[in-house]
Chains A and B, each alone.
Chain A
Amino acid sequence: MQLSINPADARPLYVQIMDEVRRARVLGTLRPDDALPSVRQLAAELRVNPNTVAQAYRELERDGVVYVRRGQGTFIAEAQVDGTARGILARGVAERALLDAHRHGLGAGELIEAIRALAREPATSNPGEP
């Protein structure tokens, strides 16, 4: 599993880690009962404070995305009600796009129209539905 974070991103680091785990689960690179790296391992890999990783894992556990088996580590939980994780992920992407649109003086309607138009184009940059 390759998680990537970026300090210049507006989201706090622990939120970025949470989003990355959610993303890996939606993409299927992490499946139910797969082990997450230990806090120590992921902190060393990402060069972040171990407390940041621990916080991300704690909140993921609270959200039911992962579960902890004492002494053994943190594991991906069974998928919740279908679509929840995808929904959260989609919402996050939409939020960032909307923010960017506002920044450029565009309204939600214009953004949605542009996305629709883009999705219709058979462009190479559009991989289509997953």
Chain B
Amino acid sequence: MASVLPLRLDESPFVVAAHGLEKRFGRQRALAGLELQVPEGAVYVLVGPNGAGKTTALKLLLDLLPADGGRAEVFGLDPYRAGPAVRARVGYVPERHDWGYGWMRVGRLLRHHATYFPAWDAAYAERLAHAFGIDPDRRVGQLSKGQARRVHLLMAMAHRPPLLLLDEPTDGLDPLARDATLGLLAEHLADAPTTVLISTHLVHEVERLADHVGVLRDGRLSAQLPLAMLHCGLRRYRADVPEDWAGAAGLNGAVLRRAGLGREIQWSVWGEEAEVVRQLAASGATVRDVAPLPLEDAVLALLSRKE
């Protein structure tokens, strides 16, 4: 039972889509045919190791970088042709904080930023500033990483855009600030319909909010699916195997990860549970238990799969 991990969602309309997106930096291929689909209203987590292309993907969606091939679509618009229209409807938290406004005080930066967004909600901005503990008198250039991240989150959220692109939003936040941020995001989602695309390599930090996941490896997705489907389709099986056990040939291609201690072997397998159990039993193994994986383990299994 060779397994094919799902790569396409069937929940259109998609607020964000990438069709064979390509990007090179010199000889390095950062994106190699990315096919991304973010359904309207989803909280989509794009996970992957460092250097997988997450940040590049987000920048291409905003036309902060030109693509070398393929095409992106945000609200049905091509960011390359309609960059300003796209950016006006997106709240973006960049991975790095290259301000260029280091001399400015935070309060002035926020007023400056607000003028670009007619929908800026001053009262909400005030509330967020308070909740994030942002000091308007600080100079932007002197903010720590975590403080800068919170200023960016405020700037992204306060105009209540229909799409949030958050690049490592919890990176640099202390546990208290991270917890508060997740609470504010949950509230934000409850107050207005918002589609969210979060890139992170720390999936457990945002997993309570997420409902879709895309696993990015070497510039392309190796899986893209709703979390509910991942929960059902990917399970960990533990079984005792006899001496000289030859393996379960029927499972070839479906096993993402395998570990063993003595005669007990543990497999992470993508596939229908009854069928996997049947295959294991047919091979002579005694299945001891079957359990869904916590998201973080599921992502690890997906990432460790050999192509």
- Listed in ascending order, the chain A residues whose CB lies under 8 Å from chain B are 5, 7-10, 12-13, 39-40, 43-52, 99, 102-103, 105
Contacts and interface: CB of A to CB of B under 8 A. Distances in A.
Given A12-B228, A50-B190, A103-B289, A44 B183 contact: yes
Given A40-B187, A44-B187, A99-B291, A49 B228 contact: no
B183 A47 contact: yes
A41 B228 CA distance: 23
A103 B238 contact: yes
Contacts of A45: 183
24 contacts: A7-B204, A7-B207, A7-B294, A7-B295, A8-B294, A40-B187, A40-B190, A44-B183, A44-B186, A45-B183, A46-B186, A47-B183, A47-B185, A47-B186, A49-B186, A51-B41, A51-B189, A51-B211, A52-B208, A52-B211, A102-B289, A103-B238, A103-B288, A105-B288
Interface of B: 41, 43, 179, 182-187, 189-191, 204, 207-211, 228, 231, 238, 288-289, 291-292, 294-295
Contact of B191 (A8, A13, A40): A40
Contacts of A44: 183-184, 186-187, 190
**Residue of B43, B190, B210 with highest tally of chain A CB at under 10 A:** B190
B289 A43 contact: no
B204 A47 contact: no
A50 B43 CA distance: 11
Contacts of A99: 289, 291
A99 to B, nearest CB: 6
Contacts of B183: 44-45, 47
A54 B249 CA distance: 43
A102 B217 CA distance: 36
B264 to A, nearest CB: 9
Contacts of A51: 41, 189, 211
Given A12-B231, A13-B208, A48 B288 contact: no
A57 to B, nearest CB: 13
B292 A10 contact: yes
A49 B231 contact: no
A85 B119 CA distance: 47
A43 B231 contact: no
Nearest to A11: B292
B288 A49 contact: no
Contact of A102 (B204, B288, B292): B288
A8 B41 CA distance: 25
A7 B208 contact: yes
B166 to A, nearest CB: 14
A12 B228 CA distance: 8
Contacts of B182: 47
A7 B298 CA distance: 12
Contacts of B291: 10, 99
A49 B289 contact: no
A96 B179 CA distance: 29
Contact of A47 (B43, B209, B238): B209
Nearest to B294: A8
B65 to A, nearest CB: 30
A47 B179 contact: yes
A50 B187 CA distance: 8
Nearest to B232: A12
A102 B183 CA distance: 38
Nearest to B289: A103
Contacts of B294: 7-10
A52 B231 CA distance: 14
Given A7-B204, A10-B291, A102-B288, A49 B211 contact: yes
A39 B295 contact: no
Contacts of B41: 51
Contacts of B184: 44
A110 to B, nearest CB: 14
Contacts of B209: 47-49
A50 B204 CA distance: 18
